[in-house]
């Protein structure tokens, strides 16, 4: 069976199961894993965090459940009849707008349709690309000593990610499967949260000096960004370091790369790079490097405390660092190193941290 046929068959299976429930007089429901931090567990097989056994039943017994079921059925029909049968696709945003004509099955916000598509991924065990659903924005950018080939709609394109690209680097396409790595001189991958730090490293020639592939995460990384990091790690066998701001939200960025995100734990095996290491900014760096800081807000404190009960952060390293930050009551940005000179981060901090991590 082709991937297309598998996707069609899986969606039809869902419809058949609901239809059967009506026929048997069972109040229709869909069982889904509970998507909270209480229901993620470590998978030894893949070295990532995935959903556990806690299930919630989405049943038509309540108006909310019934409406959500109705929307799921409308969405299935769209994916089957518009996307798969005609070999076409839409973006997440477009799907939200298509629902305008669905009367009471209309989505109230895009987050609702996004979540329902994730539900369908979980129920079918497939990924949204299988339904020809793509994200609005492409992934972020990479820059480094790497030659690759991309299968585009207009033919194959080959390029070197230092020589053939502008200062912004190579734009990652939403479907990473269309990329083939050809050759490289890289010794490591450094993923960066902010565009400022990405540009700083390129300007300072860090990629050339350390043979590093730089990945710009653009905040919470898109699926394609996480995929390319995983691809660089598994196919080229490169060590990965993640360099973010020093606040609770940035630790979650790292967690989504190295452990798996709570929202997309059903895809952890495709998206996660278990070998990725957290470079910084660590709370201990705030003390060790005497960094300029900001006060933690109430929301920051809440996020830190929530991370203390998050099973993904249940390691001695994270407990110590998070507790330290709660005691310090301070957070630091990546850019804080600029206070010590523009070269400080590439000449001092990164080499020190990379050698601590055993990457140089």
Partner 1 sequence: MEIAEEMAGRQKAISVAEFFEKNRQILGFDSAPRSLITCVKEAVDNSLDACEEAGILPDIFVQIRRSGEYFVVAIEDNGPGIVLEELPRVFAKLLYGSRFHVLRQSRGQQGIGISAAVLYSQLTSGKPTRITSKIGPDRPANYCEVTINTAKNEPEILKSCEVEWERPRGTRVELEMEGSYVRSRRQSVYGYLKNVAIVNPHARITLVEPDGTREVFERATESLPKPAYEIQPHPCGIELGELIKLLRYTEKKKLGRFLRETFSSIGAITAQELCTISVLDPDMAPGSLGHEEAKRLLAAFKQIKVKSPPVDCLSPIGEDLIRAGLKKEYRLDFIATAIRPVAVFSGNPFLIEVGLGYGGELEKEGRVEILRFANRVPLVYQQGACAVTHAVETMPWKNYSLSQPGGGGVPVGPAVLLVHVGSTNIPFTSESKDAIADMPEILDEIGLGLKEAGRKLRKYLSRQSVLSERREKEEIIRKILPRIASKLADILNQEVPDIGPVVAKIMGNLLVRRSAVQENGQTLVELRVENHTEATRSFKLHELLPEEALSVTPAAKAMPIGDGYDYHWKLMVGPGETALLSYTVRTDAAKFSEPVVEGLDAELVTGARVL
Catalytic annotation, residues = 97
Spatial distance between the Cα atoms of 257 and 267, rounded to a whole number of angstroms = 12
- Residue 300 phi/psi, 5-degree rounding, is -60, -45
Closest to 287 measured CA to CA, from 317, 335, 330, 254: 330
Contact status: 5 vs partner 1 (CB under 8 A): no
Contact status: 22 vs partner 1 (CB under 8 A): yes
How near is the Cβ of 23 to partner 1 at its closest, in Å?
Answer: 5
Helix segments in the chain, DSSP class H? 3-24, 63-77, 92-98, 110-124, 195-203, 206-210, 223-235, 248-258, 268-271, 283-288, 298-308, 316-328, 344, 350-356
How near is the Cβ of 184 to partner 1 at its closest, in Å?
Answer: 47
Task: Work out which of 35, 43, 50, 74 binds partner 1, going by CB under 8 A.
Answer: 74
Contact status: 12 vs partner 1 (CB under 8 A): yes
How near is the Cβ of 25 to partner 1 at its closest, in Å?
Answer: 3
Cβ proximity to partner 1: between 30 and 212 the closer is: 30
DSSP-derived secondary structure letter, 8: H
Cβ proximity to partner 1: between 61 and 299 the closer is: 61
Task: Give the β-pairing of 133-134 and 141-143.
Answer: unpaired
Site for partner 1 in 31-60 (CB under 8 A): 60
Please work out the total of residues on this chain that contact partner 1, with binding judged by CB under 8 A.
Answer: 29
Spatial distance between the Cα atoms of 229 and 89, rounded to a whole number of angstroms = 25
How near is the Cβ of 318 to partner 1 at its closest, in Å?
Answer: 38
Contact status: 28 vs partner 1 (CB under 8 A): yes
Closest to 312 measured CA to CA, from 241, 347, 245, 263: 263
Task: Work out which of 77, 185, 209, 343 binds partner 1, going by CB under 8 A.
Answer: 77
Residue numbers at the binding site for partner 1 (CB under 8 A): 12, 15-16, 18-19, 21-28, 60-63, 66-67, 69-70, 73-74, 76-77, 80-81, 104-105
């Amino acid at each position: 069976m082709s991937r297309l046929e598998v996707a069609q068959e899986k969606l039809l299976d869902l419809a058949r199961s609901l239809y059967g429930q009506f026929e048997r007089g069972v109040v229709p429901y869909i069982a889904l894993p509970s998507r909270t931090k209480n229901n993620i567990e470590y998978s030894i097989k893949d070295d990532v965090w995935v959903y556990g056994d806690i299930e919630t039943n989405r049943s038509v017994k309540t108006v909310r459940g019934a409406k959500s079921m109705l929307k799921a059925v409308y969405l299935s029909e769209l994916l089957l009849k518009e996307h798969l049968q005609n070999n076409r696709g839409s973006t997440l945003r477009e799907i939200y707008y298509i629902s305008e004509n669905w009367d009471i099955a209309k989505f109230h916000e895009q987050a609702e349709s996004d979540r329902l598509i994730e539900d369908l991924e979980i129920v079918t065990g497939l990924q949204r690309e299988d339904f020809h659903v793509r994200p609005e924005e492409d992934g972020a950018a990479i820059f480094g000593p790497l030659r690759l080939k991309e299968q585009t709609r207009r033919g194959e394109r080959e390029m070197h990610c230092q020589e053939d690209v502008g200062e912004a680097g190579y734009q990652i396409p939403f479907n990473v499967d269309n990329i083939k790595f050809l050759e490289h001189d890289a010794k490591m991958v450094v993923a960066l949260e902010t565009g400022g730090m990405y540009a700083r490293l390129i300007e300072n020639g860090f990629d050339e000096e350390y043979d590093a592939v730089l990945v710009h995460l653009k905040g919470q990384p898109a699926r394609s960004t996480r995929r390319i990091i995983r691809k660089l790690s598994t196919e080229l066998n490169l060590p990965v370091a993640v360099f973010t701001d020093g606040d609770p939200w940035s630790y979650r960025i790292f967690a989504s790369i190295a452990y798996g995100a709570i929202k997309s734990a059903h895809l952890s095996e495709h998206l996660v790079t278990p070998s990725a290491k957290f470079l910084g900014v660590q709370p201990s760096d705030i003390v060790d490097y005497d960094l300029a800081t900001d006060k933690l807000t109430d929301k920051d404190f809440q996020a830190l405390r929530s991370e203390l009960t998050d099973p993904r952060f249940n390691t001695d390293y994270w407990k110590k660092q998070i507790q330290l930050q709660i005691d310090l009551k301070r957070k630091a940005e990546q850019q804080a190193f600029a206070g010590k000179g523009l070269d400080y981060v590439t000449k001092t901090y990164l080499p020190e941290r990379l050698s601590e991590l055993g990457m140089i």
